[in-house]
Structure formats: structure tokens, C-alpha cells
């Protein structure tokens, strides 16, 4: 079968779907990754075929140019909001409306991307479209070409949670009628290509979710659980990583791909504070950032190494702990390697909630940015390194992940979905 994978033009999003693309290719299927041109260099490095569609995304530049009130981050609405007293019908409705607007989803992919992907899919005629939950170009293109379609999450599925909650609250409100900002927004996208709205276009015919079951948000929507497989991009293992692991603990710190691509090298943890905290500890700290982002005048301690890019999955096999921002790929890679975590969450999606769950399960520590200092960073890192309970529970979490179906197992589910879709879409025979 022919498969189009489409996602937000961000490396963190691409990396999550690459193992699925590999599994489909290994099973003999034709796979292309169709997304904005600025992600194509990263696509080429995956070994999959890339198809550029639409104009460049330029996320970091565009976010820097916009006032806070022109983005979802300044709207007053949070898709990851979980406080019951806040989640009124009006809040949930307006939160979905804010995301389905130029504040969020229309920033992610503009009309040029819809036009480009629809045009390509109508020409290539894929059997299946796999799409990123943060952009709706995929379901629109699937509707326009008649393909089956599957959504992939980029973390915990708050969009799905909010959608289900909205429909439930609306049913309980007789005065709400049939109002639905998501339906109205998506209907306008579909109408441009002669298509009509269907509810499955909001959450997919099913959703691929690579989060461990205990980290996943419960949902009535159909999900296909799949084991997270770490893909960090191409890289070469440096010589120092082939040497025996030093007797003192090795600690990794990473801010993820979004640190540069989305946030323009802005972080919650200041490097000067990090170095001051590390200087007082008997550790080897590996800081995975481009050395050029370290400002002149900041002194790097002798126990800190800044090697630039190193494949995270490979590095973590030698680490006793990781400090990071709470991103999906980093969190999952740490879990996959059984490494205790110290999370100073960034405010991009639901990093704070992820950090809470990691802490509640005894897999690490959540250090909120408002409590961050040289002393708190040093103290919490020491706690993660010296309490053997963190290491034991992290190893148990790793074993749990290894029992989850692999992308290889997922291929059969996707093939069956396409088969069912073809049957549903087939014309009824006439007498």
C-alpha cells in the first residue's frame, strides 16, 4: 500500500514517526513523508523519501515576531488544563476554538500546506495518511483523496481529552444546541476541496499512541498502543563514549530539538546556574547543546563536557541521571533506558503534567522553574543520584515498555484498517 506520513515541520515531531515509517517500509509498503520544506533536510537523513509541501514553517522566527496575544500562549487558554473548577463548558468550548484558529493550528500549517498536500495526495492516491495531531492537513488530504487516515500523538493526548469533554458537556447543556467551533473550522478547510465534515476527521479513524499506558490519558477514542522506539537522528558515536564509563556518575542534560527550532535557544535553566551547580558535585555532566549557544564569559567547569550532537539513546545507556525540559522524545528515551529524571519543565505543551506523573511514579523529580536555583538544582540532582529507589523504579518502567507492541506489530493493524476502509468505501453492487 501507499502511505503518506505528514507532521509539523519540527524535528521532535518527525523523530516520533520515523520508526513507524521504517516498519512500513520493511513490510514492503511505499512510504513518503510530506511536510513543509524546512524539515526536508531532516527527512532526508531518516532514509525515508520526503515530499515538500507548502511554504516554510520558520517557527522560531515567526514566534519571535508575534506578540504574546497573537499566539495560543497568550490567549488565556491551555489545552492541558486539568483543574475541574476551570473546565466549564464555556472554557472547554473556547479553548478548542482558540486552538482551531490563527492563534495555533493555523500558525502550524497555513493554507499553502493544505493546498500542497491535497494536490500531492490527489495525484499519488495513497491508501493511508498518517498525520500529526498538531496539524489537520492530513485528515483534510485523506478526505480529498479517499484514503484511510490515522492520527499520531506528539505526547499525552490533551486534544482528544478536550474534544471528548466538549461533546459530553455540550450534551448536558440544552441551551448549547449544536455549536461546535472545531467542526466549523474544519468544515471550512474541507469545503475548499469539495469535502464535507465527518467526526472521524477530528481524532482520526484511530490514534497511534507511543506513551506508556500509565502515562497515557484515558480515552473513549480508539487507540493503537505502540512501543516507543528512540530515533534521535543520524550520528556517530564519539570516541570518548566508547571508553569505560567513569567511576563518578555520568549525567546528561538536554533541552531537546524544540530548544532551538521553536524557542530560539531560550531555556528555563540558565547555563551559568547549571555550571555552578555541577561544579560542586562529583559527576561528569554531558550538556547536549551546540557549544555556540554558551555566551562568552560563562566559565565551563572541568567536569562538564559540551560535545554538540550525540545520539541521546546511545548516550543514556552510560548515564545515571538526566536533566531535561519534559519533552516527549526525551522523556520517553529516558524511560526506554531506565534512567532517573530531573525535569525542569518548559511551557510548550504539558511538560509540567508529565513531570508530575514522573515524580508520582518515583521515576524522578519535578523541579518547577519558579523553584529553580543553583542550590535546588544541586540538591535535587544529588537526591536523584543517591536514592536507589529512583534507579529501581526506572528499570521497572523500562521493562514495562519492552512488553508493548512494536512498530512491526503495528503494521498489521494499519493494513487491516486500510482493508476495512476500502470495503466501506467500495460502491454497492447493483443487480
What separation, in Å, do the N-terminal and C-terminal C-alpha atoms of the chain show? 31
Listed as own residue / partner, the contacts of 263-268 with beta carbons closer than 8 Å and 24 or more positions apart are 263/60, 263/63, 263/346, 263/348, 264/60, 264/61, 264/63, 264/64, 265/293, 267/325, 267/346, 268/325, 268/344, 268/345, 268/346, 268/369, 268/372
Domain annotation covers residue 431:
no
- Give 169-193 pLDDT, tens digit per residue: 999 998 999 999 999 999 999 999 9
| Residue 91 shares a structural domain with residue 182 | yes
E strands within 199-249? 207-209, 223-225
What are 223's strand-pairing partners? Answer: 207
For 185: left if phi > 0, alpha if psi spans -120 to 50, otherwise beta; the answer is alpha
| Residue 170 shares a structural domain with residue 253 | no
Span 221-247, average pLDDT = 90
Name the strand (E) or helix (H) holding 53: none
Give the per-residue pLDDT at 265.
46
| Residue 210 shares a structural domain with residue 270 | no
At residue 392, does pLDDT exceed 60?
A: yes
Give the per-residue pLDDT at 202.
97
pTM of the model: 0.92
Cβ 375 vs Cβ 385: under 8 Å = no
Give the per-residue pLDDT at 412.
97
| Residue 24 shares a structural domain with residue 151 | yes
At residue 413, does pLDDT exceed 70?
A: yes
Span 258-280, average pLDDT = 70
Span 322-342, average pLDDT = 95
C-alpha atoms less than 13 angstroms from C-alpha of 74 in its C-beta half-sphere: 9
| Residue 398 shares a structural domain with residue 409 | no
pLDDT band at 296 (very low <50, low <70, confident <90, very high): confident
C-alpha cell read off for 339? 534512567
Domain annotation covers residue 389:
yes
Residue 84 CA to residue 49 CA, distance in Å, equals 45
Give the per-residue pLDDT at 257.
64
What percent of the chain is predicted at pLDDT more than 70?
A: 95
At residue 431, does pLDDT exceed 90?
A: no
Span 387-401, average pLDDT = 96
Cβ 221 vs Cβ 205: under 8 Å = no
At residue 393, does pLDDT exceed 70?
A: yes
Give the per-residue pLDDT at 430.
44
At residue 68, does pLDDT exceed 80?
A: no
Span 130-150, average pLDDT = 97
- Give 355-368 pLDDT, tens digit per residue: 999 999 999 999 99
Give the per-residue pLDDT at 389.
97
Q: What is the mean pLDDT of the chain?
A: 91
Give the per-residue pLDDT at 428.
40
- Cβ-Cβ contacts under 8 Å for 30 (sequence gap 6 or more): 1, 2, 3
Domain annotation covers residue 430:
no
Which of 48, 4, 31 is closest to 233 using CA atoms?
48
| Residue 179 shares a structural domain with residue 257 | no
pLDDT band at 309 (very low <50, low <70, confident <90, very high): confident
At residue 429, does pLDDT exceed 60?
A: no
Residue with cell 538544582: 377
Tell me the CA distances in angstroms from 159 to 114, 140, 166, 172, 182, one per residue in order: 20, 17, 10, 20, 11
| Residue 336 shares a structural domain with residue 193 | no
| Residue 397 shares a structural domain with residue 412 | no
Give the per-residue pLDDT at 74.
81
* CB neighbourhood size of 431 (10 A): 2
Span 125-151, average pLDDT = 97
- Give 109-120 pLDDT, tens digit per residue: 999 999 999 999
| Residue 300 shares a structural domain with residue 393 | yes
Give the per-residue pLDDT at 395.
97
- Give how far the C-alpha of residue 324 lies from the chain's centroid of Cα atoms, to the nearest Å: 15
| Residue 142 shares a structural domain with residue 15 | yes
Q: What is the CATH number of the domain that holds 109?
A: 3.40.50.2000
As for how many domains the chain has, the answer is: 2
- Give 95-111 pLDDT, tens digit per residue: 999 999 988 888 889 99
Residue 7 lies in domain = 2-227+405-425
| Residue 253 shares a structural domain with residue 179 | no
What SS3 class is residue 7? coil
Domain annotation covers residue 259:
yes
Which DSSP category does 66 fall into? S
| Residue 269 shares a structural domain with residue 161 | no
What SS3 class is residue 148? strand
Amino acid at each position: 500500500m501507499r502511505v503518506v506520513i505528514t507532521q509539523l515541520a519540527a524535528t521532535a515531531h518527525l523523530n516520533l514517526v520515523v520508526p513507524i515509517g521504517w516498519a512500513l517500509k520493511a513490510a514492503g509498503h511505499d512510504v513518503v513523508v510530506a511536510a513543509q520544506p524546512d524539515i526536508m533536510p531532516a527527512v532526508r537523513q531518516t532514509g525515508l523519501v520526503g515530499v515538500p509541501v507548502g511554504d516554510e514553517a520558520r517557527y522560531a522566527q515567526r514566534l519571535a515576531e508575534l506578540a504574546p496575544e497573537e499566539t495560543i500562549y497568550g490567549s488565556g487558554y491551555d489545552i492541558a488544563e486539568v483543574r475541574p473548577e476551570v473546565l466549564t463548558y464555556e472554557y472547554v468550548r473556547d479553548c478548542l476554538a482558540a486552538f482551531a484558529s490563527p492563534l495555533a493550528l493555523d500558525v502550524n500549517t497555513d493554507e499553502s500546506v493544505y493546498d500542497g498536500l491535497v494536490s500531492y495526495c490527489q495525484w499519488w492516491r495513497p491508501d493511508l495518511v498518517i498525520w500529526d495531531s498538531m496539524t489537520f492537513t492530513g485528515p483534510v488530504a485523506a478526505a480529498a483523496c479517499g484514503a484511510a487516515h490515522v492520527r499520531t500523538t506528539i505526547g499525552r493526548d490533551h486534544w482528544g481529552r478536550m474534544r471528548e469533554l466538549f461533546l459530553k458537556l455540550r450534551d448536558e447543556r440544552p441551551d448549547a444546541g449544536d455549536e461546535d467551533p472545531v467542526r466549523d473550522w474544519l468544515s471550512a478547510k474541507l469545503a475548499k476541496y469539495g469535502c464535507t465534515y465527518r467526526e472521524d476527521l477530528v481524532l482520526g479513524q484511530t490514534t497511534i499512541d507511543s506513551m506508556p499506558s500509565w502515562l497515557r490519558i484515558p480515552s473513549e477514542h480508539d487507540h493503537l498502543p505502540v512501543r516507543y522506539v528512540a530515533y534521535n537522528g543520524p550520528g556517530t558515536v564519539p570516541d570518548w563514549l566508547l571508553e569505560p564509563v567513569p567511576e563518578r556518575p555520568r549525567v546528561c542534560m538536554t533541552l531537546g530539538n524544540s530548544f532551538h527550532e521553536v524557542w530560539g535557544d531560550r531555556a528555563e535553566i540558565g547555563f551559568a546556574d547549571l555550571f555552578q551547580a555541577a561544579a560542586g558535585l562529583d559527576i561528569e555532566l554531558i550538556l547536549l547543546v551546540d557549544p555556540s549557544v554558551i555566551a562568552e564569559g560563562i566559565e565551563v567547569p572541568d567536569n562538564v563536557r559540551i560535545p554538540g550532537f550525540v545520539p541521546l539513546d546511545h548516550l543514556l545507556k552510560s548515564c545515571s541521571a538526566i536533566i531535561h525540559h519534559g519533552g516527549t522524545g526525551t522523556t520517553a528515551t529516558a524511560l526506554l533506558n531506565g534512567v532517573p529524571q530531573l525535569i525542569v519543565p518548559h511551557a510548550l505543551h504539558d511538560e509540567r503534567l508529565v513531570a508530575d506523573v514522573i515524580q508520582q511514579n518515583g521515576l524522578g523529580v519535578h523541579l518547577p522553574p519558579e523553584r529553580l536555583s543553583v542550590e535546588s538544582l544541586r540538591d535535587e540532582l544529588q537526591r536523584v543520584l543517591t536514592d536507589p529507589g529512583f534507579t529501581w523504579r526506572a528499570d521497572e518502567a523500562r521493562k514495562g515498555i519492552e512488553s508493548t507492541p512494536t512498530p512491526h506489530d503495528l503494521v498489521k493493524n494499519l493494513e487491516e484498517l486500510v482493508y476495512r476502509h476500502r470495503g466501506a468505501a467500495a460502491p454497492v453492487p447493483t443487480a
